[in-house]
Amino acid sequence: MSAAVARLSKAQRTRRQILAAAELRFAAAGFEKTRLEDVAEDIGMVGSAILYHFPDKRDLYRAVLDELFSGLLAAVAQAASGSTPLGERIEAAVRAAVRAVAARPAIASIALREATSDDPELQERALPFLRLIGELFEEGARTGEIHPVRADPFHFISAVAGTILFYVAALPRFVPELPPDHLAPEQMQALERDAVVITQRLLGLTGPRPVR
Length of the chain, in residues: 212
Residue spans of the domains in the chain: they are 1-54, 64-203
Q: What is the pLDDT along the chain (212 residues), one digit of tens a residue?
A: 455 545 568 888 899 999 999 999 999 999 999 999 999 999 998 878 898 899 999 999 999 999 999 999 999 999 999 999 999 999 999 999 999 999 999 999 999 988 877 778 888 888 999 999 999 999 999 999 999 999 999 999 999 999 999 999 988 778 877 777 889 999 999 999 999 999 999 999 865 444 44
Domain 64-203, CATH 1.20.5.510 — does that match? no
Q: CATH number for the 1-54 domain, one of 3.30.1490.20, 3.30.9.90, 3.40.50.920, 1.10.10.60? A: 1.10.10.60
Q: Which of 8, 21, 81 is nearest to 29 (CA)?
A: 21
Residue 35: the pLDDT is: 93
DSSP for 79-117?
HH-SSS-HHHHHHHHHHHHHHHHHH-THHHHHHHHHTTS
CB-based contact 146:83 (threshold 8 Å): no
64-203: same fold as 1-54?
A: no
Cβ atoms within 10 A of the Cβ of 191, count? 21
Residue 207: the pLDDT is: 53
Residue 8: the pLDDT is: 65
pTM: 0.87
Residue 178: the pLDDT is: 72
Rg (CA), the chain: 19
Residue 186: the pLDDT is: 93
